[in-house]
């Protein structure tokens, strides 16, 4: 069953040289993105810094408005919700951020942070006490940590609090924007396993954003590879990691350094500066005349694999 459906999503930011000057052009942060997430599925979004991942997440949770395109949640456009539907959406779709430290209020104890989400959604005092205990338990935190402030907690503990806060209102979809990037490698694995465990226990769906391909491979059922605001390859995790077809995916896969992360500028983008056609025509073995002139559409290689290419 379809949970989230993103259709031809675009976000263009005006480029201005001065505060009051007219825009000299547009930065196409998101440029025609399509994907969907089924109930119980994890979609991984991967791509280098600045390719538009966070912008997509912010549009879905309504922190940003798209320039054009539509987002459907349970087949309903998120911009034409009734008040009741809007209220439900804000409960059912929760976000977990990269840096647990800056996303927690330094003046609130762990308990207060988790309880606040329950108060906002009108849960009574007695039920709150039980729920807070349950939530601490479900993210593997002992009750003795309840009265600690963020600076008294480790990075992993803080991210567990952020996850408990997101879980407080029984979400269906969690948008996790680089939720483990700020953590030590050993703690990353614990948090990923917690997310996987919660997914099966609570039948959650995730949009999981990362730079790190091994992390994406571990957690995702399907993967969308993004380059400059466009999806270039979209496939089941198995297909993508065994039969990558797009040159950019191949570069990402071959560029995985020991720690698994992609760094900004790792891909030589000078070769990709083209006047027309496909961005990858200069580094692609199968580029044809059409590729020099027209940007490729997404084509289906099979029902589990789509690639932005004229020649597949």
Ligand X SMILES: Nc1ncnc2c1ncn2[C@@H]1O[C@H](COP(=O)(O)OP(=O)(O)OP(=O)(O)O)[C@@H](O)[C@H]1O
Catalog residues that contact Mg ion under the rule CB under 5 A: 53-54
Q: Choose, by CB under 6 A, the member of 9, 42, 44, 53 that binds ligand X.
A: 53
Compare residues 54 and 205 and give the one whose CB is closer to ligand X. 54
Residues in binding contact with ligand X, number by CB under 6 A: 11
Binding site partner of 52, from Mg ion, ligand X, none, Cβ cut-off 5-8 A by kind: ligand X
Tell me: does residue 54 bind ligand X (CB under 6 A): yes
- Compute the least distance from the CB of residue 50 to ligand X, in Å: 4
Q: Choose, by CB under 6 A, the member of 44, 52, 66, 277 that binds ligand X.
A: 52
Give the Å distances, CA to CA, from 62 to 9, 119, 164, 251: 13, 21, 21, 33
Question: Looking up tokens 């911009």, which residue turns up?
Answer: 79
Which range in 47-55, 109-117, 136-144, 190-198 contacts ligand X by CB under 6 A? Answer: 47-55
Which range in 46-54, 100-108, 152-160, 278-286 contacts ligand X by CB under 6 A? Answer: 46-54
Q: How far is CA 197 from the centre of its chain?
A: 19
The DSSP call for residue 78 is G
Q: Give the contact letters, 6-25, x = binds to ligand X (CB under 6 A), - = no.
A: -------x------------
Binding site partner of 27, from Mg ion, ligand X, none, Cβ cut-off 5-8 A by kind: ligand X
Tell me: does residue 51 bind ligand X (CB under 6 A): yes
Compare residues 25 and 50 and give the one whose CB is closer to ligand X. 50
Question: Looking up tokens 């491979």, which residue turns up?
Answer: 217
Is residue 235 within 8 A of residue 242, CB to CB? The reply is no
Rounded-to-integer distance, Cα 225 and Cα 231, Å: 6
End-to-end CA distance of the chain: 29
Contacts of residue 296, defined as CB under 8 A and 6 or more positions apart, other chains included, come to 278, 308, 309, 310
Sheet of 305-308, strand order: 93-96, 173-177, 205-210, 42-46, 222-227, 230-236, 305-308, 298-302
Compare residues 54 and 94 and give the one whose CB is closer to Mg ion. 54
Q: Choose, by CB under 6 A, the member of 5, 42, 55, 159 that binds ligand X.
A: 55
SS3 107: coil
Which residues in 203-242 contact ligand X (CB under 6 A)?
Answer: 211
- The encoded tokens of residue 209 equal 């954003």
Compare residues 132 and 191 and give the one whose CB is closer to Mg ion. 191
Q: Choose, by CB under 6 A, the member of 2, 8, 25, 50 that binds ligand X.
A: 50
Compare residues 95 and 309 and give the one whose CB is closer to Mg ion. 95
Rounded-to-integer distance, Cα 247 and Cα 151, Å: 44
Q: What are phi and psi of 177, to 5 degrees?
A: -95, 100
Site of interaction with ligand X (CB under 6 A): 13, 27, 29, 49-55, 211
């Amino acid at each position: 069953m379809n949970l989230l459906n993103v259709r031809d999503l675009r976000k263009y930011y005006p480029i201005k040289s001065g505060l009051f000057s007219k825009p000299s052009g547009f930065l196409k942060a998101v440029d025609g993105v399509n994907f969907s997430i089924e109930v119980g599925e994890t979609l991984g979004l991967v791509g280098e810094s600045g390719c538009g991942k966070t912008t997509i997440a912010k549009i879905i949770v309504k922190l940003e408005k798209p320039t054009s395109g539509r987002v459907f949640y349970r087949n309903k456009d998120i911009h034409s919700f009734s008040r009741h539907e809007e209220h439900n959406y804000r409960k059912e779709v929760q976000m977990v951020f990269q840096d647990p430290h800056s996303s927690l209020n330094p003046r609130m104890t762990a308990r207060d942070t988790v309880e606040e989400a329950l108060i906002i959604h009108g849960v009574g005092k007695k039920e709150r006490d039980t729920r807070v205990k349950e939530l601490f338990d479900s993210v593997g935190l002992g009750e003795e940590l309840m009265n600690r402030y963020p600076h008294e907690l480790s990075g992993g503990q803080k991210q567990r609090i952020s996850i408990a806060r997101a879980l407080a209102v029984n979400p269906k979809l969690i948008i996790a924007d680089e939720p483990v990037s700020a953590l030590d490698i050993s703690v990353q694995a614990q948090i990923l396993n917690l997310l996987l465990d919660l997914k099966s226990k609570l039948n959650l769906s995730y949009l999981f954003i990362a730079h790190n391909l091994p992390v994406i491979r571990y957690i995702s059922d399907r993967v969308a590879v993004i380059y400059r605001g466009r999806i270039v390859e979209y496939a089941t995790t198995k297909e993508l990691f065994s039969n990558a077809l797009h040159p950019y995916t191949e570069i990402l896969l071959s560029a995985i350094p020991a720690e698994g992360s992609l760094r900004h500028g790792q891909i030589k983008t000078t070769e990709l500066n083209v006047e027309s056609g496909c961005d990858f025509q200069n580094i692609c073995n199968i580029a044809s005349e059409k590729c020099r002139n027209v940007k490729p559409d997404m084509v289906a290689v099979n029902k589990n694999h789509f690639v932005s290419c004229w020649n597949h």
